[in-house]
Amino acid sequence: MHNYQIYINGQWRDSASGNSFDSLNPYTGESWASIPRCNAADVEAAVDAANTAFESEAWRSLTATARGKMVKRFGQVLLDNAEKLAAIEVRDNGKLYSEVLNQCRYMTEWFEYFGGLADKVEGTVPPIDKPKVLNYTRYEPLGVCACITPWNSPLLLLVWKLAPALAAGNTVVIKPSEYTSASTLELAKLSELAGFPPGVINVVTGYSSEVGEPLVSHKKVRKIAFTGGEEGGRQVNISAASDFKKVTLELGGKSANIVFDDADLDQAVDGAISGIFAASGQTCIAGSRLLLQDTIHDEFLERLVDMSSIAKLGDPMSEDTQIAPIANELQYKKILKYIDIAKTEGAKCVLGGGSATVEGNHEGLFVLPTIFSDVDNSMRIAQEEVFGPVLSVIRFKDEDEAVSIANDIDYGLAAGVWTKSLNRAVNVSERLQAGTVWVNTYRSTSYTSPFGGYKSSGLGRENGQQAIKEYLQVKSIWLHTGESTKNPYARR
Ligand code: NAD
């Protein structure tokens, strides 16, 4: 059993109440770590430390170049420790080690990219329509930023926030998911090697009502970067609005993966599988609605079922495992509930449709790769995010119908289009209401390309050059270079 502590003002400590809770390994069912159960007193201490650090000479007086170098150094330290971080994350959320290791190695690029941007965010000198005036603008950091993360990719999604927030000169209070706090606390430990002054990075752990809500409503927090579900996002947005805090919200999805009859069907079957069964479907960008043109519907479905039925469920640390367990019991039960809902609604279960056990393992929270055909887009199984390995297959006739079904939903995070026609690829992509559209590929993201949702899938964007601006505010400075004004009542 590993006893973790929280990180406030460069110091490791227990929660103010002294309480803790256990973190469970979803493959073995074992409690493997004890995590501090924080409350509003810990949030107060962490925000206070972050606010003091924000105003400190040690942080404020760093040039943008020096700050950028520190951010890059952090990325290098994380890369050096990628294997260790990945193993800890897998113990907490049960995701495939191979995927998590790739993410942990890739994280360094966010620090390189945003560290490099730190001294390239330039203000302007607007040509002012008045004589004897010099006006210039500069981008300034916001202050204390709260970074709130979910359990499915805790470190990567934290890094999407942390790298631009720090590069912009802010300080942060991080609240990881109550299911997966350990890897974030390990990351905080590694931040010490990069040389950040105390209080620049702080981590509090615990439940949303006891830690998340006090953090979001704290007066000294100026920005909230939240990744999580729609309901949590709504509450965060409402709370932030009352204090005019800035927010970025990366929320859920029910993305349409659309296969036209002129597509390379082998590629498209791969893309459909990667869209829904990678990470056991526990990704916000899951292509959980597969739209098939009626001319290829039956053939495609048969191939998809054949390939998916041989997916290997097993130990997330094994290289040959393809489907890992579900990350926690609440999510496991939710997925099974949605499978029942789909059956009740009249969808036809053509693969899976329940829980699974793996030889030699009795505790793992496994769900079979599940495919429902004959789904109508108005069904709950088509409209609500399951966040598990459950695919809804919907039939369409032509381009117009495909676009209309794809857009007929509150979410708008991502979409996939499979076609060999360039015209169709461009036309359909432009008509889809989604923040990301992949053509003849699926599930690609990069630090260089903006990511975020339309409609109920979120607000603001992470990644790409403009992401750093989500952590900055612009100031306009006016210098009068002429003689003093004669009439103080006249407009200047
Ligand atoms: P969640 O909303 O339950 O929790 C996310 C985080 O927010 C946790 O740390 C939680 O404690 C905290 N939280 C929840 N409600 C809060 C509140 N009112 N105030 C402050 N903090 C609060 O989500 P989850 O179950 O951890 O993650 C799964 C969800 O995340 C899915 O809906 C998924 O689609 C979404 N997600 C989105 C993206 C994206 O980039 N768009 C990426 C990954 C996951």
Going by CA atoms, what residue is nearest to atom 39 of ligand 1? 250
CA-CA distances (angstroms) from residue 347 to 289, 353, 453? 13, 11, 28
Residue 44 to residue 191: CA distance in whole angstroms: 22
Nearest CA owner, ligand 1 atom 34: 252
Structural tokens at position 244: 């005019």
To the query of whether residue 38 is one of the catalytic residues in this protein, the response is no
| Spatial CA neighbour of 335 closest among 284, 265, 385 | 385
Same domain, 291 and 247: no
Of the candidates 309, 434, 299, 291, which has an alpha carbon nearest to the alpha carbon of residue 375? 291
Residue 483 lies in a domain: no
Binned average pLDDT, 10 residues per bin, the chain of 492 residues = 97 98 96 98 98 98 98 98 98 97 98 98 96 96 98 98 98 98 98 97 98 98 98 98 97 98 98 97 98 98 98 96 96 98 98 94 93 98 98 98 98 98 98 98 97 98 97 97 81 72
**Token pair of 458, please?**
């979120």
Domain count of the chain?
2
Residue with tokens 């953090």: 215
What is the distance, to the nearest Å, from the Cα of residue 104 to the centroid of all Cα atoms in its chain?
Answer: 14
C-alpha of residue 101 to centroid of ligand 1, in Å: 22
284 counts as catalytic: yes
Residues in Cβ contact with 367 at an 8 Å cutoff, skipping those fewer than 6 apart: 280, 326, 332, 335, 336, 339, 352, 354, 355, 356, 388, 389, 390
Q: Please indicate, yes or no, if residue 370 is contained in any of the structural domains.
A: yes
Same domain, 207 and 261: no
| Domain of residue 126, residue span | 2-251+457-476
- Do 195 and 112 fall within a single domain? yes
* Angle, helix 82-93 to helix 64-80, in steps of 10 degrees: 70
Ligand 1 closest atom vs CA 453? 41
Q: Check whether residue 353 and residue 414 sit in a common domain.
A: yes
User: Considering only CA atoms, which of 447, 450, 471 is closest in space to residue 167?
Assistant: 471
Say yes or no: 246 and 267 in one domain: no
Distance CA 212, CA 436 (A): 28
The reply to whether ligand 1 has any atom less than 6 angstroms from the CB of 435 is: no
| Protein residue with its CA nearest to atom 12 in ligand 1 | 208
Does residue 37 come out as left (phi exceeding 0), alpha (psi in the -120 to 50 range) or beta?
beta
In the prediction, which pLDDT does 316 show? 97
Q: Which residue's alpha carbon is at the smallest distance from atom 11 of ligand 1?
A: 208
Both 101 and 141 in a single domain? yes
Residue 427 in domain: yes
468: Cα within 13 Å, side-chain hemisphere: 26
In a domain, 449, yes or no: no
Q: Are residues 295 and 375 in the same domain?
A: yes
CATH number of the domain at 280, please.
Answer: 3.40.309.10
* Domain match, 193 and 329 both: no
- Residues 150, 247 within the same domain: yes
Ligand 1 centre from 362 Cα, in Å?
Answer: 28
Instruction: Kindly state whether residues 167 and 276 are assigned to the same domain.
Output: no
Is 65 a member of any domain? Answer: yes
Kindly state whether residues 342 and 386 are assigned to the same domain.
yes
Task: Tell whether 444 is covered by a domain.
Answer: no
Evaluate if pTM is beyond 0.95: yes
Q: Write down the pLDDT at residue 362.
A: 83
Pocket test for ligand 1, best of 39, 152, 175, 455 (most atoms within 8 A of CB): 152
Give residue 488's pLDDT.
81
Distance set, CA 369 to CA 99, 151, 301, 339, 357 (Å): 18, 20, 14, 11, 12
| Nearest-10 Cα torsion for 423, 428, 431, 436 | -110
For residue 284, tell me if it sits in a domain: yes
Q: What is the pLDDT of residue 489?
A: 85
Provide DSSP, 430-454.
HHS-SSEEEES--S---TTS-B--S
The residue to which tokens 């449709």 are assigned? 353
Give backbone dihedrals phi and psi of 383, rounded to 5 degrees, phi first. -100, -25
The rounded distance, in Å, linking the Cα atoms of 115 and 118 is 5
Same domain assignment for residues 209 and 302? no
Q: Name the residue among 151, 65, 159 with its Cα closest to residue 109.
A: 159
- Exposure b/e, 367-396, CB count within 10 A at least 16 = b: bbbbbbbebebebebbebbbbbbbbbbbbb
Output the furthest CA–CA distance in the chain (Å, rounded).
Answer: 89
Residue 451 lies in a domain: no
Query: Does 385 contact ligand 1 (Cβ within 6 A)?
Result: yes
- How far does residue 364's CA lie from ligand 1's centre (Å)? 23
User: Which run of H or of E encompasses 92?
Assistant: helix 82-93
pLDDT of residue 361: 86
Q: Is the CB of 252 under 6 A from ligand 1?
A: yes
Q: Name the residue at shortest CA distance from atom 1 of ligand 1.
A: 228
Token pair listed for 481: 């270079």
Does the C-beta of 387 come closer than 6 Å to ligand 1?
yes
